[in-house]
A and B are shown apart, each in its own frame.
Chain A
Amino acid sequence: MSEPRLVEVRRNVLKQNDVIAHALRSQFRAAGVFVVSLVSSPGSGKTTFLEKTLTQLQPRYRVAALVGDLATENDAVRLARSKAPVKQITTGTLCHLEAAMVQNALQDWNLHDLDFLFIENVGNLVCPSSYDLGENLRLVLMSVTEGEDKPLKYPTIFNSADVAVVTKNELADAVEFDWNAARNSIQSVRPGMQIFRLSAKTGEGMEEYLKFLGQRLAEQTAVAQI
């Protein structure tokens, strides 16, 4: 055997996912649908928050949701109570969604019929950060009960997000939640990120966030018409 030789190849390991995500993003833009993905730890309140979001947006907008879960369809059943079209993506042993799963799930939906599409990722603050899903906005959720330093423990996912939501706010006093500390840790790992503080349970604070979504959709539509 001869001496080993070093050959430069430079191959992006997630190329395949990135290519599909890129295609999805173009498809979303062409259809005029604004796509929001949700990431958080298990149990932070994604489904509760999303059910509220779907219900409150529906009088004005056409909305739909995809929801990833390891094994159950429980979240899809809960979200379907909003009467919006909902589809479950069962990931099996995979702890995150990938662009191909989103593409697959959307095959028989006409995106032109939608204004907003929401994608609830599997509850996990590590793995989803590497996978672009073609979304226009990545929303990271944390609840007041899980500690102000969550962003410092999972900097990569917070850094990769576009907007943060701090939920279960009606419990803030009971758990002595330190709002300044939480805000500082978010700003430290993701400077300039907009943060909404709300309670999906009581609805407090939802209005401002829904207004923000409406603005983002309007901006995208305006850009598309130029």
Chain B
Amino acid sequence: MHELSIAMGIVDAALDESQRRGVQVSAVHLRLGALSGVVKDALMFSWEVACQDTQLQGSQLIVDEVPVIVFCTQCHAERELPSVQSFACPVCGAATMDIRQGKELEVFAIEVQEEEVQG
């Protein structure tokens, strides 16, 4: 299981953004591809531990699951795969390895709270 180290990577990226912008992060939006090799449930499970004792403690992880999209040369069209167990066009059945989407492991956005001005 490498989800804890992935979660820590997400925390690092979000912390870096929050420090650069001088803001407090309340939630992190992640784009997670079906071919990223990372399991959503395990990642969610690791989130709290990864955030512990950092400024992200108590923050939320919001995962946007991204399906695999391939290009089918028979149909000349992009197609969404219903399953990663079959790299074939769901319309015409042609096999394809022209992967256009689905490997994402990306901190897409952060929800921030502007730091309150003192005084």
Residues of A within 8 A of B (CB): 1-2, 4-14, 16, 94-96, 126-127, 129-130, 152, 155-157, 159-160, 187-192
Number of A-B contacts (CB under 8 A): 106
Knowing A4-B26, A5-B112, A9-B17 touch, does A155 contact B84 (C-beta < 8 A)? Answer: yes
Residues of B within 8 A of A (CB): 1-2, 5-6, 9-10, 13-14, 17, 21, 23, 26-27, 29-30, 35-39, 84-88, 95-97, 105-114, 116
Chain A to chain B contacts (Cβ below 8 Å), 6 pairs: A8-B109, A13-B30, A16-B9, A130-B2, A160-B37, A191-B96
- The minimal Cβ–Cβ distance linking B49 to chain A, given in whole angstroms, is 14
Contact of B107 among A11, A16, A126 (CB under 8 A): A11
Q: Which residues of A contact B27 (CB under 8 A)?
A: 4
* Interface residue SS majority, chain A: mixed
Q: Which residues of A contact B108 (CB under 8 A)?
A: 8-10
- The minimal Cβ–Cβ distance linking A169 to chain B, given in whole angstroms, is 25
CA distance A192 to B96 in the complex (A): 9
CA distance A96 to B2 in the complex (A): 8
Q: Are B84 and A7 in contact (CB under 8 A)?
A: no
Q: Are A187 and B95 in contact (CB under 8 A)?
A: yes
Q: Which residues of B contact A189 (CB under 8 A)?
A: 84-87
